[in-house]
Structure 1
């Protein structure tokens, strides 16, 4: 995890010791009955989320629409969209959740991420994944079974490019750096925060040593305890990555509604939600990213209630 000397205010807004923050996953709308969002008023909704006190907006990387998967995400390229949102917002952290790294060329990813980092004044977190759609791999002529090793090597190359001047590095799957080239811009805050999304085909020990944060979809109490303990053990004397999770989310209009789970969708009223979030904070969760696709209410309505009741309750309890 980033040490305090290199922890940007933006990273700390999302991942802070002994606190829990909440973010939103794009597209910022409810579209339960369609694989395609409208993106209507998305600029204004992003600004509403910032004003409401959400810590982050996360952009997904979905190159193709797969009818078997049934969700085209925000449709827009995440780096292009991040540049747009950088101009539309002022303080909220922007990040990717996550770039499907084995399908992308890592020098270009580094250039794009550092460009967004500069455009946002250092409020960008680069989230990297191996993706959840095997059908995309043949379209890129990438070996699906090689995705774990490709992910590791690409991430190491990105870290080299953002942290070293005129680096020298030889890679097996990508290019060679001979010390005669340097990549700019460099990170605004001295180091680009990098986050793993999902397991990314990596062991806990590797994640604990190589990323600053980790977002997964695991949110039950027992598993959270095991993950947080395992990260601490694997990190040894170093600081472990911050752990958070993402979930499909439906805020019940009844504030007294209990927690319910429908496959991968959490439906809950705000009072039970506050209790659940505080409990998970105490277990060691540092961030929760909400996906509003299945919401029965508009994104604007959910954001307004979260900003009026849930987020202030978390802040007052910190």
Structure 2
């Protein structure tokens, strides 16, 4: 198997992007959290009681990212409503209470949202965060939501591609022209404001969103998938490397339900929840880093311990093995006033 590709496939725009470069660096594994940063194993949603303090704790500990999900409704068939709050509004709020950590979406359900409004929200959030924003996009996994929006579920993959291209166009071009299949037409007479802090907003695909890996490798800036079986990581990262092909290095990451055992030597337990003690996890993640995993996003819903206690343990014992890069565009923590 080939080793991780060097940065030659990564554009200079992204190497210098404060949010993206903190999360994704070739050959290096980073960690983030899927909001809410709270344990709620017996409830469909969190209390959000300490959500500001928890975001600041993750920021100050040196974690790479907080990921916000797009769940407009509570569907009892799924039993999870994410962080409850709208991801774009919440991202703007987190911009005011955090300093270094990247805020990402995982992911905005493009077929259910107007792409021009998503573009406006994304560039606004990016400005508020000073470039600490990554936009993750998806088609969603809840068919019951589509009738509520009057949208055909079977058209979601095509709508996703159409919206994806339109967002890239209006956020990266001035006075753009574009015709779309499912949305409107741009004739160069109007221009979206604001534009991103940098040349563009890094955009990654969450899951596969009905697309081939080759399409994602060609059009997106990376992928964040879901893996329930660590044994599959080698196979998945190799498929991703092949799919990226001539496009060079593009990062692969995954999200997982997570439960940190109190016994530091507890081995990895089988099942859809990544459950183990810290020592087994360190060894697991070192192997995955060698396989090309660039980011792991931990989801606390099934966690049996208080999330603050888990963040402290991970920060003290795990992060030293996988230090988060300090962006060249951001000063070290504590050197700038809020």
Candidates 253, 260, 267, aligned match of 1:258: 267
Give the distance between the partners of 1:248 and 1:236, measured in 2 at CA. Answer: 30
- Are 2:69 and 1:69 aligned? no
What secondary structure does 1:281 align onto? helix
Structure 1 residue 68, shift from structure 2 partner = 1.3
Give the distance between the partners of 2:20 and 2:132, measured in 1 at CA. Answer: 7
Give the distance between the partners of 2:107 and 2:200, measured in 1 at CA. Answer: 19
Partner of 2:182: 173
Give the distance between the partners of 2:236 and 2:60, measured in 1 at CA. Answer: 32
Partner of 1:306: 314
- Structure 1, gaps ≥5 residues long: none
Partner of 2:96: 87
Give the distance between the partners of 1:98 and 1:247, measured in 2 at CA. Answer: 14
Asked whether the equivalents of residues 259 and 266 of structure 1 are also in contact (C-alpha less than 8 Å), the reply is yes
What secondary structure does 1:24 align onto? strand
The worse-fitting range, judged by mean Cα deviation, of 168-177 and 222-231 is: 222-231
What secondary structure does 2:186 align onto? strand
Give the distance between the partners of 1:221 and 1:47, measured in 2 at CA. Answer: 30
The worse-fitting range, judged by mean Cα deviation, of 180-189 and 151-160 is: 180-189
Give the distance between the partners of 2:243 and 2:274, measured in 1 at CA. Answer: 31
Structure 1 residue 232, shift from structure 2 partner = 3.1
- Note the 1:20-169 alignment, pairs <5 A: 20-169=29-178
Give the distance between the partners of 1:163 and 1:272, measured in 2 at CA. Answer: 43
Structure 1 residue 6, shift from structure 2 partner = 3.8
Counting matched residue pairs gives 315
Structure 1 residue 237, shift from structure 2 partner = 2.7
Give the alignment's TM-score, normalised by structure 2.
0.90
Give the alignment's TM-score, normalised by structure 1.
0.96
Partner of 1:201: 210
- Measured on the aligned residues, the alpha-carbon RMSD in Å equals 1.4
Structure 1 residue 137, shift from structure 2 partner = 0.5
What secondary structure does 1:275 align onto? helix
Give the distance between the partners of 1:235 and 1:115, measured in 2 at CA. Answer: 30
- Are 2:223 and 1:214 aligned? yes
Candidates 272, 276, 281, aligned match of 2:289: 281
- Are 2:239 and 1:234 aligned? no
- Per-residue CA deviation, residues 122-141 of structure 1 (Å, 9 max, x unaligned), is 00000001111111110001
User: Would the alpha carbon gap of residues 291 and 221 (structure 1) be closer, same or farther in structure 2, given more than 3 Å must change?
Assistant: closer
- Structure 2, gaps ≥5 residues long: 1-8, 325-338
What secondary structure does 1:237 align onto? helix
Partner of 1:225: 234
Give the distance between the partners of 1:290 and 1:277, measured in 2 at CA. Answer: 13
Partner of 2:6: none
What secondary structure does 1:236 align onto? helix
Structure 1 residue 221, shift from structure 2 partner = 5.5
